[in-house]
Amino acid sequence: MTMIPLTRRPGGLQAYKLLIPAHRGVTPAQQSHDGYEWLYVLSGRLDLLLGPERFELSEGEAVEFDTLTPHTFTNPGPGLVEALALYGEAGERVHLRQEPLG
């Protein structure tokens, strides 16, 4: 997997573009760590294992989760997965505006 940082400032929310090649082998072990993550799939299909639950995310779908929950993700193929990830090390959550201005 290639992670391209999109933010240049230290601390706070960090943004990355993820390029995940197809992988048809052993699923990587789940990991947990402090923080909160938001993933948005730009292209391809991403399999997310989040604790005991499995999610299949396609282009245009997003998921957010507490990274203290054990997790891992893979690309079942056949092509490359491109995704955006927002990560808050201190547990910051992404807040989406639901109402129009004014």
The pLDDT value recorded for residue 53 is 94
pLDDT at 51: 94
In a domain, 102, yes or no: no
| DSSP per-residue string spanning 28-72 | PPPB--SSEEEEEEEESEEEEEETTEEEEEETT-EEEEETTS-EE
Q: Which domain holds residue 60?
A: 2-7+15-23+33-88
Q: How far apart are CA 68 and CA 73, in angstroms?
A: 15
Residues 1-52: tens digit of each pLDDT: 899 999 988 878 899 999 999 987 778 899 998 889 999 999 999 999 999 9
Lowest mean pLDDT among 27-36, 47-56, 57-66, 84-93: 84-93
Structural domain tally of the chain?
A: 1
Tokens of 93: 């959550």
The CATH number given to whatever domain includes residue 84 is 2.60.120.10
